[in-house]
Amino acid sequence: MSDTSTAAPPKPSPVVTPDMAPFWAAARRHELVVQRCTACGSLRFPARELCRQCLGREAVWQPVSGRGKVFSFVVMHRANHPAFAAEVPYTVALVELEEGVRLAAQLTDIPPQKVTIGMPVEVWWDPVAAEVVVPRFRPRQP
Amino acid sequence: MAVHPLRGAAAIVGLGITPQGKVYGSSPLGFAVDAVRLALADAGLRREDLDGLLVNPGLAWSDQTMASFAVQQAMGLRDLRLSAAMNLGGATAGAMVMHAVQAIAAGLCTTVACVFSDAPLKPPEPGGARSSSGAAYAFARGFDATQGFFGVNAMYALIARRHMHRYGTTGEQLGAIAVAQRRWANLNPLAQMRNTPLTLREYLDSRWVVEPFHVLDCCLVSNGGLAVIVTSADRARGSRRPPVYVLGIGQGHPGGDPIDTLSSGAALAGRTAFAMAGIDLRDLDVLELYDCYTFTVLVTLEDYGFCRKGEGGPFAAEHHTGPGGRLALNTGGGQLSSFYMWGMTPLSEAVIQLRGDGGARQVARHDVALVSGNGGVLSTHATLVLSRHPA
């Protein structure tokens, strides 16, 4: 049996839809960006066609701090994708960024049983494949 | 106060439940036809008596558009005056009954079949591979997939964790719901878990799926179909089986993000339905609350006002909701322990109880039942108030 058949399959690369392409391009530069409605200024993630506040269509991608707090979290004990099988159990946190936007992302560098709601976290960048970099979060000193 | 014109205008006169669970060899369309056929037989009606058809297609229908037309053609129904495929997730069953009642009361049609079916489970593969796959329920796309954040289980679990943080809700309290429902299922010959007892210790020791959810916090996955026949109260009087009258109906879809409110649409839907029925919580004998997760039951109890927001955990644990307890809740075992037919599971058990067909699990007082349906991660909701007595 060859190595390639026993190695864990690659992690899912993002399906780069046109609306999310600027996010993934920024990720390659290690820059976390979210959409800002040009009409009313409200922030949103992931990309949406319309602003929920004012129904405006125009938006720009704006860098954010990458710092936030755990708003809630779960511990995934079953790998619904084979690429994550070796990592279970792992933590996915709903992170509320300082700018107020929330995103669900893997929280690393801490055992699941030590994670608490409200703990400060910061983004780091995980190169999962050539030309593919995804954000993760880890604990941060307050 | 004037009586609402829809109060008691229509009744459920037929119930059809196909075999449930790991049942193979039928498409979702085939299960839907079987369920409608069984419901017609139960009602003592013929196909020709139907002039309305509402269909809630489950996940395995994804390749089918115009599901109600597909069912009509598959079973040779002629001259329908009402037809629609509907999808509000778990709230669809209640919403189908609501539309049927409205159309009947308005004189647009007389007799409507409402049906759900699905076939997400695949037969065992040769060589002993795992027989069942819930993969259809693990929605992973785009950004979430890169984070290993998969599925509806995880989305509900995020909200449950927040509820635990804010209100002190515990795993033991969620477990009390799972154990009580399993005790009901052990009395239900239709339940997939009828022969499998469950203790709180076993619940707590069961494997995690997405913490804070054990596998026993999550509903089953089932193949099968389930249908009810709705007709006018006038026509229902001569029916073969005891009619189940629809006294109150309501929907509630709050919008926004439920992780901020830690609430479902039950408060809004319930207000409408209770006002129409002219009842309050004390009038309810049987509660059939949507239970995709133990946590959903806890939140729904809060939102209907059985206890205050945040107190669902202690309330469920202290009210002994199993057989012989203080609150007859999910008396067939629910979707956690009987079968997963979305909103049709609680609706069907309410019909069984109100008719007095519950056998070993029959609730002594069974005049009025509350049925809830919930979908879209605490985002869609439908409420029915049903009674064995006409308005």
Mean pLDDT of chain B: 95
CB-closest option in B144, B147, B211 to A77: B211
From chain A, the residues in CB contact with B139 under 8 A are: none
Q: Rg for chain B (alpha carbons), in Å?
A: 20
Query: What confidence score (pLDDT) does residue B211 get?
Result: 97
Q: Does A94 reside within a domain? A: yes
For B168, left (φ over 0), alpha (ψ -120 to 50), or beta?
left
Query: What confidence score (pLDDT) does residue A129 get?
Result: 84
Distance CA B148, CA A90 (A): 9
The ranges assigned to domains in chain B are: 10-122+220-387
- Under an 8 A CB cutoff, do A92 and B207 touch? no
Query: What confidence score (pLDDT) does residue B127 get?
Result: 62
Classify strands B111-118 and B52-57 as parallel, antiparallel or unpaired: parallel
Distance CA B347, CA B89 (A): 14
Distance CA B151, CA B172 (A): 24
Instruction: Please tell me if residue B210 touches chain A, with a CB cutoff of 8 Å.
Output: yes
pLDDT, tens digit (0-9, with 9 covering 90-100), for B142-157: 888 889 888 899 999 9
Q: Tell me the one-letter amino acid at B272.
A: T
- Under an 8 A CB cutoff, do B143 and A89 touch? no
The pLDDT-based confidence of B191 (bands split at 50, 70, 90) is very high
Please say whether the structural domain B10-122+220-387 has been given the CATH code 3.40.47.10.
Answer: yes
For residue B69, the surrounding DSSP H or E stretch is helix B67-74
> Does residue A5 surpass a pLDDT of 60?
no
Query: What confidence score (pLDDT) does residue A75 get?
Result: 98
Q: Are A137 and A95 in contact (CB under 8 A)?
A: yes
- Under an 8 A CB cutoff, do A20 and B143 touch? yes
Query: What confidence score (pLDDT) does residue A60 get?
Result: 97
Distance CA A118, CA B20 (A): 43
Distance CA B246, CA B385 (A): 6
The pLDDT-based confidence of B177 (bands split at 50, 70, 90) is very high
Higher pLDDT, B219 or A17: B219
Q: Are B381 and B253 in contact (CB under 8 A)?
A: yes
Q: Does A7 reside within a domain? A: no
| Helical ranges in B80-199 per DSSP H | 92-105, 142-146, 151-167, 171-185
Q: Does A2 reside within a domain? A: no
Q: Looking at CA atoms only, how far is residue A34 from chain B in angstroms?
A: 13
Half-sphere exposure of B180 (CA within 13 A, CB side): 26
The pLDDT-based confidence of B391 (bands split at 50, 70, 90) is confident
Query: What confidence score (pLDDT) does residue B266 get?
Result: 98
Among A86-95, B20-29, B142-151, B195-204, the range scoring the smallest mean pLDDT is B142-151
Considering only alpha carbons, which residue of chain B is nearest residue A82?
A: B148
CATH number at residue A135: 2.40.50.840
Query: What confidence score (pLDDT) does residue A18 get?
Result: 87
- Under an 8 A CB cutoff, do B140 and A105 touch? no
pLDDT, tens digit (0-9, with 9 covering 90-100), for B82-96: 999 999 999 999 999
Q: Is B292 exposed, middle or buried (0-12, 13-18, 19+ CB in 10 A)?
A: buried
The pLDDT-based confidence of B128 (bands split at 50, 70, 90) is low
Least Cα distance to B333 among B301, B383, B288, B378 occurs for B288
Question: What six digits make up the tokens of B279?
Answer: 């009842």
From chain A, the residues in CB contact with B149 under 8 A are: 76, 92, 104-106
Query: What confidence score (pLDDT) does residue A141 get?
Result: 86
Q: What would the DSSP string read from start to end of A106-127?
A: EE-SS-GGG--TT-EEEEEEEE
Q: Looking at CA atoms only, how far is residue A84 from chain B in angstroms?
A: 7
Distance CA A75, CA B211 (A): 5
> Does residue B135 surpass a pLDDT of 70?
no
> Does residue A4 surpass a pLDDT of 60?
no
Query: What is the average pLDDT across B216-245?
Result: 97
Instruction: Please tell me if residue B50 touches chain A, with a CB cutoff of 8 Å.
Output: no
Residues in A whose CB is inside 8 Å of some CB of B read: 11-15, 17, 20, 23, 46, 71-81, 84, 87, 89-90, 92, 94, 103-106, 112, 117, 128, 134, 136
User: What percent of chain A has pLDDT above 90?
Assistant: 75
pLDDT, tens digit (0-9, with 9 covering 90-100), for A27-77: 999 999 999 999 999 999 999 999 999 999 999 999 999 999 999 999 999
- Under an 8 A CB cutoff, do A79 and B208 touch? no
> Does residue A1 surpass a pLDDT of 50?
no
Domain range enclosing A57: 13-139
Q: Who contacts A50 (Cβ-Cβ below 8 Å, separation ≥6)? A: A56, A57
Query: What confidence score (pLDDT) does residue B44 get?
Result: 98
ipTM comes to 0.92
- Under an 8 A CB cutoff, do B157 and A81 touch? no
Considering only alpha carbons, which residue of chain A is nearest residue B159?
A: A72
From chain B, the residues in CB contact with A72 under 8 A are: 158-159, 161-162, 165, 259
> How many domains are contained in chain A?
1
pLDDT, tens digit (0-9, with 9 covering 90-100), for B48-103: 999 999 999 999 997 778 999 999 999 999 999 999 999 999 999 999 999 999 99
Query: What confidence score (pLDDT) does residue B239 get?
Result: 94
CB-closest option in B141, B146, B148 to A76: B148
Query: What is the average pLDDT across B11-30?
Result: 97
Cβ atoms within 10 Å of B168's Cβ, excluding its own: 12
From chain B, the residues in CB contact with A92 under 8 A are: 147-149, 154
Residue numbers of B annotated as active site: 290, 340
Q: Looking at CA atoms only, how far is residue B211 from chain A in angstroms?
A: 5
pLDDT, tens digit (0-9, with 9 covering 90-100), for A79-129: 877 878 888 999 999 999 999 999 999 999 999 999 999 999 999 999 988
Q: Looking at CA atoms only, how far is residue B132 from chain A in angstroms?
A: 14
Q: Who contacts B126 (Cβ-Cβ below 8 Å, separation ≥6)? A: none
| Rounded (10°) angle between helices B266-277 and B294-304 | 50
Query: What is the average pLDDT across B313-326?
Result: 92
Cβ atoms within 10 Å of A9's Cβ, excluding its own: 12
Q: Residue B9: phi, psi to the nearest 5?
A: -70, -25
> Does residue B131 surpass a pLDDT of 70?
no
- Under an 8 A CB cutoff, do A74 and B144 touch? no
Q: Does A21 reside within a domain? A: yes
pLDDT, tens digit (0-9, with 9 covering 90-100), for A42-52: 999 999 999 99
Query: What confidence score (pLDDT) does residue B1 get?
Result: 62
